Amino acid sequence: MLAAQILKRIVREGQIRVVDAEGKLHVIGPGPGPAPTIRIHDRRLQRQLFFNPKLHFGEAYMDGRLTIEDGTLYEVLDILTRSMAELESHPLQRLQQIVGRWTHFIHTHNPVGRAQQNVAHHYDLSDTLYDLFLDKDRQYSCAYFASDNDSLEIAQANKKLHLASKLLLQPGQRVLDIGSGWGGLGLYLAKLAHIDVTGVTLSTEQHKVSEQRAKDAGLSDRLRFHLRDYRHQEGPFDRIVSVGMFEHVGTKHYREFFRKVKELLTEDGVMLLHSIGRMDPPGSTNPWLRKYIFPGGYTPALSEVLHAVEDVGLWVTDIEILRLHYAKTLREWYRRFQANRDKIRALYDERFCRMWEFYLVGCEIAFRNLGQMVFQMQIARRQEAVPLTRDYMIDFERAFQTRSSAAA
């Protein structure tokens, strides 16, 4: 089997047992450790895995053409990704990387209209689905684990307070939340400080929920949400925050994004950008993830983001890198997803469940083995817009801890 021969060349850690379509067992890797068993159910898949494993492995798992008989999906992906550098050195994979870089700008072209279609693909799924694996506030982004003992709810509250500490909030300020999701962050900030918050989203389902949440909280006079592309928003705003949205902007639109940020900010304004990124140089999106989960999505290298910020003429006043916080977040999402798997299957079907299992586990592995991380970048129009030291962030978190718990 061609795929098995490739695996035998690249797997340098752990061991995987592969049963091919003819029933022949292939033992791959030196061990020790877990030795999960994969069964391939048709001959066509054996050829597909040879030519494009990054796409067809996930597709086959979704369709049941590839099953795991001993061990777990996590163990399989962990072993394979620890050998990813060896796989990508193969001539066929190098060729696909070159093609991927050439087509990258096509896949991440997200003008007004297409951007909304891409968002709808993922975020306009059933509200019930997200309730079954997210925290109660539906924070669908990296949590902040101050302690290994933090629950997901506590870690997401930590994240919101951590973001607020970098915004230097003052009563009466106007705040814009770009990519406001289900409204949780906007609601939190409006409760935490007496400020006016506007959120914009491209998801019709998220907009409907967030508007209702603002109404139910009695905050509609200073908390509102719009179904609107950020490029159509008018300002000015004292503060801008964007969490988990920049991954959907698209590389060719980065300067457009930051030009709009600069236009919307007051002269002393501050923005906080929270996004998934990569510690590697610029690359392309995994083809399975792009096709089935996040069409138009891409996690940027810091060099790509900083280059766009520099060109627009904004100050980067602080950067923090969160490394394994998202891996811990994804593990908890997966645990809750599995605990409610029967309910999710009733909403959709078995194929959907297997697709999301592959998505959640694969993303956790990417943060552990493949250089994915989260960055929080503070940006301003003027270098004097924020204090010269970072002490104000710690002081804010300590001063607002009690109020934060109530807001969360």
Provide the annotated active-site residues.
Answer: 363
For residue 55, the number of C-alpha atoms closer than 13 Å in the C-beta half-sphere is 13
In whole angstroms, give the CA distance from residue 198 to residue 192.
15
| Amino acid sitting at position 341 | R
In whole angstroms, give the CA distance from residue 391 to residue 332.
31
Cα torsion for 292, 296, 299, 304, to the nearest 10°?
Answer: 160
The structure tokens 């991927």 sit at 100
Peptide bond just before 236 cis, omega within 30 deg:
yes
Q: What are phi and psi of 251, to 5 degrees?
A: -55, -45
- The secondary structure of residue 256, as a DSSP letter, is H
143 neighbors 329 (Cβ within 8 angstroms)? yes
For residue 92, the tally of other CB atoms under 10 A from its CB is 13
198 neighbors 174 (Cβ within 8 angstroms)? yes
Residue of 218, 144, 212, 205 lying closest to 376 (CA atoms): 144
- The secondary structure of residue 168, as a DSSP letter, is T
Residue of 156, 164, 200, 155 lying closest to 179 (CA atoms): 200
The first and second tokens of residue 354, run together, are: 């297997």
Cα torsion for 365, 355, 209, 200, to the nearest 10°?
Answer: 60
The structure tokens 């003052």 sit at 170
302 neighbors 322 (Cβ within 8 angstroms)? no
With 0-12 CB in 10 A as exposed, 13-18 as middle and 19+ as buried, what is 74?
A: buried
For residue 308, the tally of other CB atoms under 10 A from its CB is 20
